[in-house]
Structure 1
Amino acid sequence: MSLPRSSYDPRRVCLNPFPNVSLGKHRRTIGVYLSGALFALANWTFLDAAILSAHAHSPYTAPGQPQEDAPVHVAFVDWVPGIFSLLGFLIVNLIDKDRIRGEGFGAGDERAVWRARLFLFIGFACMAGGLAGSVCVLILKYVMGHFAEQFTYYGYANVSQNVAMMLSAVVLWIAQSGSNEYEYNLTL
């Protein structure tokens, strides 16, 4: 081992520990508000693209000519990745954190811990599938379709929605995993 024996812990996963960032006693509150802001930003960007798509016209019409319909619109296939990310977000944040660690009520039930970890994996897999699906929609529908920049915005908004929703889930998970500022630890 390259680490000195005094700082080596066989339970450690990473060679370099994560930095210890202290936000004070309001860490949990800040995390929850930041997660909510990311979630709102995620859905706002996609809804902005969907509303723009509903009112879009082709940019290539000459003055005095009737407006032509836009060559591409946000369709159901654009909504599917966001739905999967939202489903994953809900699954991940509805899991009891003590079950994942094997603590709390019913800590002796090894099957409950396994099921909680399985649902956590399914939630993150749904979010990763939503992100991968949004990248595929962006490439296959908007980039390879050779549309104008105003129409490729719909695909970029879809990807940014899924990235922000994933970040929101991670921030909320970390915020909820920390101790509450109103929690008291009484030991005898």
Structure 2
Amino acid sequence: MESNGDRLFRLPFKLPNSATARSIGVYISGGLYAVGAWLFLDAVIYSKKANASSVHVTFVDWIPFLCSTLGMIIVNSIEKNRLIQDALASGSFSGSSSMAWQARLVLFLGFALLAGGLSGSIVVLIIKFLIKDFTTYPTLGMGVNNVVGNFCVVLSCVILWIAQNVEDEYSYSLTL
């Protein structure tokens, strides 16, 4: 029997190996993106087919979701190794190469698109639905679906970033 000093957690959790953790993270991320896209498309279809109010989903409502999706694509196309390639060799982040700085800049732009998409959906909710006093739920639900859908995309991006950058147990860095 192990003593409490030998375990990481107080309860006996078994952590999955890295390949399983990566697969689980990718599936959760895909599911979150699907839920976010479904919520947004549900609002779009409701606006077009069943909405009886004067408020409809227009291109302005699409912009935050498109920004979030583009930000997710950009963020998850950057390799973690590109971000820290010279930091390991020199021992600090001050003497990084132009490749590492380019990767960091592109990563920043991707996260800026994600944040802009999420905040843009909140702004659309406030300006289009709350200020104009459309507080009945089927109409207000279009704005809420936009915000929740964008939040799911951002959360999906973060989970996919973490899952993609989990180290394999059997991977070795063979850089010279």
Identity of matched residues, %: 45
When Rg is computed on C-alpha atoms for both structures, the one with the higher figure is 1
The 5 Å alignment of 1:1-150 reads 22-25=15-18, 26-58=20-52, 70-102=53-85, 110-147=97-134, 148-150=136-138
SS of residue matched to 1:94: coil
SS in 2 for 1:169: helix
In structure 2, the partner of 1:7 is none
CA distance in 1, matches of 2:168, 2:23: 9
Partner Cα distance (1:186, 1:122) in 2: 28
Change in CA separation of 1:140 and 1:101 when aligned onto 2, cut-off 3 Å: same
Structure 1 runs of 4+ off > 4 angstroms?
A: none
Q: Deviation of residue 101 (structure 1)?
A: 1.4
When the two structures are superposed, what TM-score results if normalisation uses the length of structure 2? 0.80
Residue 178, structure 1, aligned to residue 169, structure 2:
no
Evaluate the alpha carbon distance shift between residue 151 and residue 186 of structure 1 in structure 2; reply closer, same or farther with a 3 A threshold. closer
Q: Report the CA distance between 1:57 and its aligned residue.
A: 4.0
Aligned length: 153
Give the superposed CA RMSD: 2.3
Q: 1:74 to 1:24 in 2, by over 3 A?
A: same
Call closer, same or farther: CA 1:57–1:34 in 2, change over 3 Å: closer
**For the residues of structure 2 that align with 1:33 and 1:57, how far apart are their CA atoms?**
33
Q: C-alpha displacement at 1:24, in angstroms?
A: 3.0
SS of equivalent residue, structure 1 residue 50:
helix
User: Does the 8 Å CA contact 1:28/1:180 hold for their aligned counterparts?
Assistant: no
